[in-house]
Structure 1
Amino acid sequence: MLVIEKKVLLICSLCSRTDAMRDQRESAKTGLEKQAAKMLALSQQKLPPIKVGQNVVVKVPDVDRGRLAPRNVLAVVLSVNESGLYKLGTKKGALERIYTSALSSGSKQRFVICHCKRYCNTKRCNCRSKEVLCNSKCHNSSACKNK
């Protein structure tokens, strides 16, 4: 009779363990769902939706381009899916793939140029004031601390 009672107690402890594991799994699932919702909200804040007709810059993978080919292609948003994916078109025609907003960023089509004579280390520098690094369009070979 004592042996039977131990088996019953053993089974009850197994049941309680499985119940505890089930509860932990459900709480982990709800935690993951909350985290996913939070990540989606943050990405939508960082990458606002792109409108149809807006210009975007699409990065060309290194495998698909030659040595002298441009790294980026200027494209226009043709349409938007119900799932938030974008169909893009260029001068040569529509692109085969559909893109997310993370792959294509909005293009402002403006260059910041400073024409500083040396160093570019104060806020007078147009590039530094807009928090952009100087490039080859700014100044040729003068010493620059904003490169």
Structure 2
Amino acid sequence: MKNSAYHSGIKRTPYKAMFGCDHKVGLTSSCLPSEVIERLQTEDDLLALISELTEDEVSAHTSPTADTTASTNTAPSTLPTGQSPQPTPEFTSPTHTHEESPPLSLSPLTRREREITQERKRAREAQLSQTKRMVKRSRLDSKAGEVGDNDAVSIPLVDRGRGDARNILGVIIDRDENYLYTIAVKSGIIKTKYSRNQFDLCPQKLLTQSDVKQDEQVSLRQALKSTATRGQGFLKCGCGTGKKRCSTNRCNCYKAKRRCNSRCHNSLTCANK
């Protein structure tokens, strides 16, 4: 059902884009007339119809044809006595010196390959057109950022703890031809480049380019750790039960000099909370 449904992006069904023709389901998509299909009740009726059509095609190819060449060559001569037959003048076209031969018909396999190539080309053109519309709409909805603008980069849940900030403030320091932005924070330049929909522009300038560090590259998690919230990230412990739980270096949180959080053990108490 997915391959036979019309797709607005490629302007055709995925089946047609792949195989170059519409999908065929049942006898209604065959070349049989509708009145013949209505009379079919069982598979035996269908087999009988196919055998009948096959016999008709064979008889049509083997039927005798009129011998027209023999009748033209055996025409009696009615010339008077003593007269010799005149030579038949050759016909010459005043405009064409020779007749062009008609182009050879393509084989079914070649026609099928051409249809597949054309459908895939049209599907690709439709996708490119859809991409241009999406980019144009995105640029209208989201204002492009300029170098020096402040922005708030969203921090994924896996990189922050429950008490950490959800965004980190940065400054745009570069934008390439593909509208990918390079953002710098106080601890350095973030390694990942961001598209416009991955951050929000701040209406006010709280940071300038002189307030951020531009001689070192850091990851987003490292940038979060340098802030006052000290991002938790993936760090957690799975200590078992006991009075001295989370009080030795066997506990990951205790060893890293961090407090246990809700990701370690939600309702159980420990010595490192």
Q: What's the TM-score once normalised by structure 2's chain length?
A: 0.34
Give the equivalent residue in structure 2 for 1:45.
140
The answer to whether the aligner puts 1:76 opposite 2:171 as a matched pair is yes
SS at match of 2:153: strand
Give the equivalent residue in structure 1 for 2:192.
97
Give the equivalent residue in structure 1 for 2:120.
25
Q: Which runs of 5+ in 1 are unaligned?
A: 3-10, 110-147
Aligned-pair identity in percent equals: 28
C-alpha deviation, 1:69, in angstroms: 0.7
C-alpha deviation, 1:93, in angstroms: 2.6
Q: Which runs of 5+ in 2 are unaligned?
A: 1-57, 59-105, 205-273
Aligned residues: CA RMSD? 2.1
C-alpha deviation, 1:81, in angstroms: 2.1
SS at match of 1:105: strand
CA distance in 1, matches of 2:113, 2:155: 51
Of the two, which has the highest radius of gyration?
2
* Structure 2 counterpart of 1:89, one-letter code: A
Q: Return closer, same or farther for 1:14/1:93 CA change in 2, 3 Å cut-off.
A: closer
SS at match of 1:98: coil
Q: Which runs of 4+ in 1 moved over 3 A?
A: none
The answer to whether the aligner puts 1:85 opposite 2:147 as a matched pair is no
C-alpha deviation, 1:21, in angstroms: 1.6
Question: Any idea what the Cα deviations from partners look like across 1:9-63, whole Å, max 9, x if unmatched?
Answer: xx72222222222211111111111111111111111122101111111101111
CA distance in 1, matches of 2:116, 2:192: 43
- Pairs aligned (count): 101
SS at match of 1:51: coil
* Structure 2 counterpart of 1:96, one-letter code: K
1:34 to 105, 125, 129: 129
Give the equivalent residue in structure 2 for 1:56.
151
Larger mean CA deviation between 53-62 and 74-83 belongs to 74-83
